[in-house]
Structure formats: structure tokens, C-alpha cells
Structure 1
């Protein structure tokens, strides 16, 4: 005898929100009626929107009793019947697409049916899926933002795709809420991401959601809640003093051309205060003259739409680097990963072996680690060193920001790495106190 094994359609029951015991003690007390749907190992519940009491409820049939005193009994029972049949039909349809039907899709279907939300078609054109909207956003931003920023956007998209696959969910704008926020955070913690990396991905996710809202793909604004926060912490970042920069400048690396090249590019960053995207790969045509002084004319690349052009003086140290080894031209561009690896080795050769206490949160766990100083040097250390050293030397923040690209003093103070007493000394020397 042949047989067909059918996919389980699940089981529906209706029950009160409050316990039967409490309702039995007060048989006239109204309690919300919930639909409970069990499918496989999963359970799902949904409010019917109606209330009843112990005396008016048929516990065997799980419906309102047929009593003349209950005027809307037929309306409520018809609604419960509709919900039951609808959830069975919706589950059957979704089970053809998913091995494990996501709960949030069942909820979405019920929300649309009960008019709690509108179907996800807020634009006149056909509805676009979550990642289709993100792809549209990325296409618009390409050429408008720097390659580094675009790469960061794409990394967040990849994390969201990984999240979707891990939880077997279909991300939809209507379901971005605190439940998603908490799960996405836990997912990234489980993958051992640092707190600041997680914060970066949350920030970019909010950028995606804001774009969808502005463009009419979504009307969900729950991501604007204060609880949907971008977590971040101040990490341990070093800067090189003027003396250390001079030591690096004077180090003979003629026997190590790769190290020499990385060192020279890095030093130009220290002397100009630019991001690596701006100080790495300068060309002869970037050299201009202003009132008899040679400068690099640099169009900062962080945000091409709002980028600005700065003129960084070519110092005697830069002039020496270019004339000695590059025929008067800036050093050629170097791969950032190679620069980071090689500049650490240069620091090791200079015996910068002090242990630095580094505190950070990774994988959701606060950690403390002692790291040797040379291992903390990276491409961004150059710009941080410029800003910190110029500040300590008494240059006004306004003038430093002219080169660094910081737009607010608040951001500048978070960026530089000086102790409170050094900042106090700087303020005292600025002439604001009668000392």
C-alpha cells in the first residue's frame, strides 16, 4: 500500500493571557485571547485583539459561548476561525519555501491581515527586498564616498547576510526592532567582534534603515529609539612623540628597501597629518607653490561629495626624504597592509619595547592585555601623532583641524591621545589664566 507523508501543518489553540486559576477566582475578569500555534519544535503566539472572561469562554471548543447575552459572540468566533484558518494556510505556503518557517514571517502576515501594519509596498513601484534597497544605496554611494567608506558599508551588508543565514530569517524593514538589535549584537559577539566593530556595523545598519525610510521603502522608525544605540569605547591608541619621529627619520634602512619605503611613506603622514588614503601615493603633480613655499595640494578622499582641499607644507624632513631617495618626488604608493607590517618592524628595530596596557571589549567580554609599543604602530598612528604633537606644541585647534579634517573640537579631543595634565598644561600656556 502506497502512502504520502505530508508536512505537518502545525496545531492551533486559543487561550487567555491570564492563568485559568486566576480567572476562575474572578470569573467576570476580562482577559486577552491569544492564538497559540505550535509547529515542530517551535511555538508562536499572537493576540486576537479580543477579550473574554471565564464565564463566557467554552474551554473545550476554545470559542465564545453561544449566549444571548453576548451580543458580538458571532463576530468574535468568526474572527478566531479566520485567524486559525489563515495561520494554517500561511504556514503551509511558507513551509514550501523554508524547512524551518521563521516566526517573524508568520507575525508579519498576521499583522497585515489584522491591519496592524500595511503590506510592505510603500512605494508606487514594486516592493523592493531588504538587500535590494541596500544594493541601491551602495550604487548611489559609489563614487560619492571614499573607497574605504564604501568598503565599510559592504562589510556591514555581509554581516547582515550572515545573520540572516544563521537565524534562517528573511530580513524585512518592518521587523527591524529591539529584538533584531539584540540578536544582531549577540550574533557579532559570538563571532568575537570587538565592541567598536559591532558599533560600526550598527551605525551603518542605521544608515541603511534611514535611507529606506527617506526613500519610502519603509515606514519603520523603531531604529531611531535611544535604546537602538551605537555602542563604542575609547580604545588604547598610541602616538609617536617628535623625538621618536626624529629617531625613525634618522634610522638607516638602506639595506632594507621595503622597510625604508614603508618608513618614508609613514613619515610623510606624520608630517602632513593626513589619513593614509591621502598621504599614501602622493604624486609630483600634487606639489604646488604658495608664496614661495612648496606644499602638497591634497583633496581629502574620506567623503568625495563634501571633501575639501588642503595645502600641507613640504617640511625640510619631507624634502630630505624625497631628494635622497625619490629624485625629488614623493614615495610611490604602498599597500596599506604592507605598510602596517613593515612599520611595526621598524619600531622593533628602534627597540620601542615598552609594554602598553590595552583595554577593550571583544566577544562581549572586557579584556586587558599588555602589548609591546611597536606592535601598536599602524598607518593611522601617523595622523594621530601629527595632531597630538601640534596640540602639545601650542598650535591652535582651529589651525590643526585645517589640515586634519576634523569638523568639530569634540571629535578632535576624542581623537588625540594626551593625558589630562598635558591638556591642562596646554590650556594654561594658551594665556587664559593669569599665571
Structure 2
């Protein structure tokens, strides 16, 4: 005999915040409409943000009455039906995933997604979430799932958007994020003398904000997905340190300036491991593991934490020398990234790395060419770039370099490393692909 497993069903009804008896005595008094969701033995009350009164409410149908003077009755009733249908549908999915483990918090979160695109109600006052409000909520919802540097990028974009609003004396809406906005915002940033890549970074973030708003139900606008609403970027001049330069940096006596020595040592760990500064600047003794006779740093890269990507970086003789000589056999303590950037430039100047480098970038909408001393181009990220480039020149397979660096595609890797075309051509020839 076949038996069909029955799905647990929820039920929805609407009721006022005020008692029916009280509203009947004051038929024109408005009261908030609540959605009551019942499932199993549980019940949740949720404000949908609309108000009505006894005289305008059909208690049997639980909808606004068909009164000609109520100009928005159809929209309100459509929304009430949408809220009801949507939460019932989402509850079914939750029940399939969690069974009797479904909680009021889960239901409320789903209702937030369904209803919040219309409005939220706070202290009996309707509050419509602005575009900037949702941008901030996007960051809050991300929580600790994103790296601090990514959160900083998001917050920078919001600061710029608020500055744009103030300059234009407007309050941005979701529908306003369209091509006219794109062109106006880009022109605004160019006038502020931002580089093309920085502008592209902020546009990319705005697209992320809008995608979140669309998925979470705050807007139905997809104008930001236009092909012309594009993230522009260009390859700028970045340097790397050769193996010989890294050796000179390693052997430099900085014992009389401990702050410089500390920054140099942290930077060198990056040169020897190929990690992002967020990773190589936070290594500790807890990350050291031994496999056979070799010690490694074993950790999950912060940028790839969601994917749980574990990296095993061999502790080289150079790293061991740094740890044993000054830090009791463990990695150097973490220091602020800006200190690394400042101090490594100071050391570079002391080492007379003053060769002029031609740097080109689009800034303020114009191509700008500058001759900049090499030491001024040194920064925390130079360490990782140096590792990748030097390993490539040593003919380590790209796939193996990417194992350490965290790059996901060869295209991304080639765009990242900084070598001259003739060096790349020589690398290919030396790899044996040509009969020369």
C-alpha cells in the first residue's frame, strides 16, 4: 500500500493591532495591519506596514473593501495577497530543508525579505528604506563573512555616494541607479580626480549593492545590469622585487631601527609565501604544522574563507632565519598595513632604489604620465607580486604558483604578475616549446 507523506502547512490571517471591539467603536480610527503566521503549535505576528480602519476593512475576506474613494485599495490588496502567497511558499521550502526545526527567526527573516521591499514600520510610523539604508544593511548582513579590506571598500563607496547626494542635493532611490546616474556619477568622480580603477571599483560595489537589493526584494530595477553600466579598469604600473633585491633587503642591517626591522621582516614573509597582506601579516605559531621533516604555515586564506581554501606554505630557510633570529621561532607579530607601506618605502630609499619608473594611469578622465622613483612604488602588495613573478621566472608551473597565491584562473594570474614582454617570451622559449 502506497502512502503519501504530507507536507506541513502554515496558515496566514490578517488582523489589526488594535482590538476589533475598540475599532468598532471608532470606525475611522486607523490601526496597523498584522500578518499572523501559524505553523504547527507556533505562531508569529508581523507588521506588514499598512494601516486601515474598521469602516474600510472586510473582516471576512481580510482585505480592504472595494470602496471607490480608496484610490490605492487594489495595490494594498495585491500586496497582502503577495505577502500571504510568498510566505506560504517559502515556509514549504523551509520545512523541506529543516522539518520541525523551522523557527520564528527563520520565518521572520523570510518575511523581512518579502515585506521590507515595501516598507518597515517602527513606532507606528512608516519608514521607507532608502538606497543608502539598504547599502548599509548589505554590509551588516555580510557580517564576518567578508574580509575587513572588502568591508572597507564597501564603506568607502557609501561615503562617496553620500558625498554625491550632497553635491547634487538629491536622495538616491533604487530606480535612480540607471545610465544617467552612471554617467553623472562617473563625471563627478573624475572631477574629484579619482583614477579610472578607483571609479571602476566604486561602480562594481554599486552593482553589488543593487544585486543585493534586487535579490532581497527591495527593488525590481535591473537598470544597473545594462551592458553600458560597466566596470572600467586598466592595467597600471606595478613593480616587483627580483630575487637579488629581496636578498639585499633580507641582509640589510636594521637592528638600530626596530620599527623598520619589524616591517621589513613581515614584508619578507610575504615575499617568501606569496600571500596577501591580510594573511602573511597575521600568521602565528598556531599556523605552524610539521609534515615529515618539513614545517609549513597551514591556514585558510581570508579572501577565500567562504570556500574554506586551506593553504600550506613551506617555511623556507629564509623564513626560519627571520623567526629564529628575532621572534623566538614564531612569525613576526602583526602590524598595521599602513606601517608596512610607510616603512618599506623608507627602507627602499635607504637602499637607493631610486630608479625612475614610467607610470601611466587615467586620472580625472585624462591619461597621466609620471616618472616615479622605484622605492615610492613599494607597498605591502609588492611582496605577493614579487613571489608570483619570481616563481614564474624560475619556471615553476603556473598551476603550482596559483596553489599558493590564490588566483583562480591563468588569465587572472597573467594580469597580476609584472614582467616585461621580452622576459615572458624568453620564459616560453626556455620552456622548450620552440626548436631553437
Query: Considering the TM-score relative to the shorter chain, is it more than 0.5?
Result: yes
* Partner residue, 1:383: 384
Instruction: String of CA shifts for 1:163-209, please: whole Å, max 9, x gaps.
Output: 11110111111121111001111111121211111100000000111
Q: CA deviation at 1:303?
A: 4.0
- Please point out which of 100, 111, 124 is paired with 2:115: 124
CA contact (8 A) 1:143 1:304 kept: no
Unaligned ranges ≥5, structure 1: 1-111
- Gaps spanning 5+ residues in structure 2: where? 1-71, 84-112, 120-128
- CA deviation vs aligned residue, 1:26-67 (integer Å, no higher than 9, x gap): xxxxxxxxxxxxxxxxxxxxxxxxxxxxxxxxxxxxxxxxxx
Structure 2 residue 414 is the aligned partner of structure 1 residue 413: yes
Secondary structure of the residue that 1:301 maps to in structure 2? coil
Which residue is equivalent to 2:162? 161
* Separation (CA, whole Å) in 2 of partners of 1:196 and 1:130: 24
2 CA distance for matches of 1:297 and 1:286? Answer: 5
Q: Is residue 315 from structure 1 mapped to residue 332 from structure 2 by the alignment? A: no
State the distance in 1 between where 2:433 and 2:291 align.
Answer: 33
| Structure 2 residue aligned with 1:196 | 197
Name the stretch that deviates more: 300-309 or 251-260: 300-309
Counterpart CA distance in 1 for 2:223 and 2:414 is 32
**1:233 and 2:224 aligned:** no
The secondary structure found in structure 2 opposite 1:305 is helix
Taking the TM superposition and a 5 Å limit, the aligned residue runs for 1:256-271 are: 256-271=257-272
| Residue aligning to 1:171 | 172
| Whole-angstrom distance in 1 between the partners of 2:309 and 2:297 | 13
CA distance in 2, matches of 1:141, 1:430: 45
For the residue of structure 1 that corresponds to 2:357, the secondary structure is: strand
Trace 1:213-292 onto structure 2 (pairs within 5 A): 213-292=214-293
- TM-score, normalization by structure 2: 0.71
Contact 1:145 1:303 in 2 (8 A): no
Give the stretch that moved more between structures: 354-363 or 423-432: 423-432
Partner in structure 1 of residue 135 of structure 2: 134
Q: 1:38-117, aligned counterparts within 5 Å?
A: none
Question: Which residue in the other structure is 1:368 paired with?
Answer: 369
Partner residue in 2 for 1:306? 307
Aligned counterparts of 1:321 and 1:123: Cα–Cα separation in 2: 56
Q: Distance in 1 between matches of 2:306 and 2:205?
A: 18
Post-superposition Cα deviations, 1:342-393, rounded to whole Å, max 9, x if no partner, equal 1011111111110001111112221111100011000000000000000000
Once the two structures are TM-superposed, the CA of residue 210 in structure 1 deviates from its matched residue by 0.9
Offset of residue 307 of structure 1: 4.2
How many pairs were matched up?
A: 319
Give SS of 2:368's match: strand
Deviation at 1:308, TM superposition (A): 1.1
Deviation track 1:291-325 (CA, whole Å, cap 9, x = no partner) reads 22011112111143224110100100001111111
- Number of the residue aligned with 2:351: 350
CA distance in 2, matches of 1:307, 1:379: 24
Q: How far apart, CA to CA, are the structure 2 residues paired with 1:204 and 1:233? A: 17
Q: Secondary structure at the match of 1:233?
A: coil
Give the TM-score normalised by structure 1. 0.71
Q: 1:144 touches 1:303 (CA, 8 Å); kept in 2?
A: no
Is the 1:357–1:368 Cα contact (8 Å) retained in structure 2? yes
Per the TM alignment, residue 431 of structure 1 is displaced from its structure 2 partner at its CA by 2.7
Instruction: Confirm or deny: 8 A CA contact 1:269 1:276 kept in the other structure.
Output: yes
Per-residue deviation at 1:124? Answer: 3.3
Superposed CA RMSD: 1.9
Q: Structure 2: how far apart are the matches of 1:152 and 1:344?
A: 24
- The structure whose Rg is larger is 1
| 1:135-150 map, 5 Å | 135-150=136-151
Relative distance call for 1:345 and 1:403 in structure 2 (3 A) is: same
Shift of 1:123: 4.5
